[in-house]
A and B are shown apart, each in its own frame.
Chain A
Amino acid sequence: MSSDKRLVYLDYAATTPVDSRVRETMAALLGEDADFANPSAIHTAGRRSGAHIARAAAQLASLLNTQPERFIWTSGATESNNLAILGAARHREHRGRHLITMLTEHKAVIDVFRALERQGFDVTWLKPDERGVLDIAVLEAAMRDDTQLVSIMHVNNETGVRQDIERIGECCREHDVLLHVDAAQSVGKLPIDLSSLAVDLVAMTAHKLYGPKGVGALYIADRPGVHIEPIMFGGAQQRRLRPGTLAVPLIAGFGQAADIASEKISDDLEHLTTLRSRLWDGIREIPGVQLNGDLETSYPGLLNVSVDDIEGESLLLALEPLCVATGSACNSHKQDPSYVLRALGRSDSEAQSAIRFSLGRPTSKSDIDFAIKQYQNAVAKLRAMAPDRAA
């Protein structure tokens, strides 16, 4: 492949490739002689399959420093978020119908709260500061006697900004309110010690940490009062909270990915910190470039930047063959400026020109240098083509 046709993937916050060791683990469970039996069956073959599930739970528990039996396997973070939020809100409904979340949450959380609003729940939507960080005083002020659940994401998928989950958890405990954390962007990427955090529910997915797509988990803390209602029905699996035959190869792959993350997390963070600094240094001098978020409080694998007077959709196309994400909620019908960046105080134009670079384990210095050059060239090309505003 010639250099001008080179495809450079910097969209690891969207999804990651499957690690070769994860692939091997899963492939071994898909062969003719593999343990294919239903892991819920009590016969020998079923128990053999069940052992793979137990091993995966132990690997995930080791990564997060908790007990293996605390996890419910799901199809991914979207389902985990739905199960946590709907399940907790409905279980505690008799105690109160007030819920709290943030304007900058992922759609997998926002849309669930919107659905609960339509069902009569009262939701307070918290606004972050201009960096994207939640001020604990703002959360404290939103607490009411009838508040039952707070849902705050750990790492924002667009900006990489980290919330102070430790302090948020303490605040929730003081008010006897459950805390759910969408950790899709942080599990396996940042050190998380669930034994020391005051969190009750944590949603996660395998495909953001070099595992397979189609499998996730919900952590449910072993603490009085932490109960959820199921949102699906059809069997006794997983304490009736999430019925259905377990996907043994996917879950085993998730476990293996967690095991690898435990081993690599420190090296990954060092690698990503170096590369993000290189990327930011390469583009920060371009006139009109603005950082969205905050380098100090954010996950180092992510950099979100806007640039003055550049049309976002054209920028994204001009950046090809660089694979990055735009700051727009893009679908085939329209491009809306990112609601996350709007909540940080960015204008429509700034939000619309935002590009999210998300780096991963395979990202190299040459990938970053290529990205810098592509971004510089794309901005220069589009600016040269643009008429003056006042013309």
Chain B
Amino acid sequence: MTGDPYSERVRALFDAPAHAGVLEGSSMVTVDDQGVRVQLSADIGDGSITAMRFLAWGCPHVIAAVEAVCADYEGRAVSDLDVFRAAELMQSLAVPTEKSGRILVIEDAVRSLGAMLRGISGSRH
């Protein structure tokens, strides 16, 4: 018998991805690897992320994961992007291990966004 390949949380995030979209005029990164495309955009203020949005082409776990990332990072310090761990996200969403490469693409995107935002944040001081 085949069990449900998606956890309840993955289903909920996939069904209602509140952070899907683009923040026009904001900082934006795109990573295309492992058959997955992820684009992140974010607005910052006083060293914090005020809004974060995504576009993604990938399986339901990828879409759910990147939605979870955006929801989680809004309101947090830009520096927190540097400590993002794909493994923790995979565990919390019960992502199968064979999809770890796809989730690491999200980690690459988050780290790239962090580096970009730090540069912007630094240039404002």
Contact = CB atoms under 8 A, between A and B. Distances in A.
Interface of A: 309, 311, 313-314, 317-318, 332-335, 382, 384-387, 389, 391
A386 B57 contact: yes
A150 B122 CA distance: 72
Contacts of B6: 317
Contacts of B38: 387
A309 B20 contact: no
Contacts of A314: 14, 58-60, 63
Interface residues of B, number: 21
27 contacts: A311-B57, A314-B58, A314-B59, A314-B60, A314-B63, A318-B14, A332-B96, A333-B96, A333-B98, A334-B98, A384-B20, A385-B17, A385-B55, A385-B57, A385-B63, A386-B37, A386-B55, A386-B56, A387-B30, A387-B37, A387-B38, A387-B39, A387-B55, A387-B56, A389-B32, A391-B37, A391-B39
Interface string B109-123: 000000000000000
A101 B98 CA distance: 33
Contact of A309 (B5, B57, B59, B96): B57
B57 A387 contact: yes
Contacts of A313: 59-60
Contacts of A311: 57-59
A311 B11 CA distance: 16
Contacts, number: 47
Among A318, A389, A391, chain B packs the most CB atoms within 10 A around the CB of: A391
A37 to B, nearest CB: 33
Nearest to B66: A385
A317 B56 contact: no
B56 A385 contact: yes
Interface in B75-90: none
Interface string B1-32: 01001100001001001001000000000101
A333 B20 CA distance: 28
B57 A391 contact: no
Interface of B: 2, 5-6, 11, 14, 17, 20, 30, 32, 37-39, 55-60, 63, 96, 98
Contacts of B5: 332
Contacts of A382: 57
Contacts of B58: 311, 314
B39 to A, nearest CB: 4
A64 B6 CA distance: 44
Contact of A317 (B2, B14, B32, B37): B14
Among A311, A313, A334, A387, chain B packs the most CB atoms within 10 A around the CB of: A387
Nearest to B40: A387
Nearest to B2: A332
A317 to B, nearest CB: 5
Contacts of A335: 59
Contacts of A384: 20
B60 A391 contact: no
A385 B6 CA distance: 19
A80 B11 CA distance: 40
A382 B96 CA distance: 22
B30 A391 contact: yes
A318 B11 CA distance: 10
Given A311-B57, A387-B37, 20 more contacts: A309-B57, A311-B58, A314-B63, A317-B14, A317-B60, A318-B14, A333-B98, A334-B98, A384-B20, A385-B17, A385-B56, A385-B63, A386-B37, A386-B56, A386-B57, A387-B30, A387-B39, A387-B55, A389-B32, A389-B37
A274 B67 CA distance: 41
A49 B69 CA distance: 64
A382 B59 CA distance: 10
A112 B17 CA distance: 45
Contacts of B17: 385
A298 B37 CA distance: 36
Contacts of A391: 30, 37, 39
A291 B46 CA distance: 53
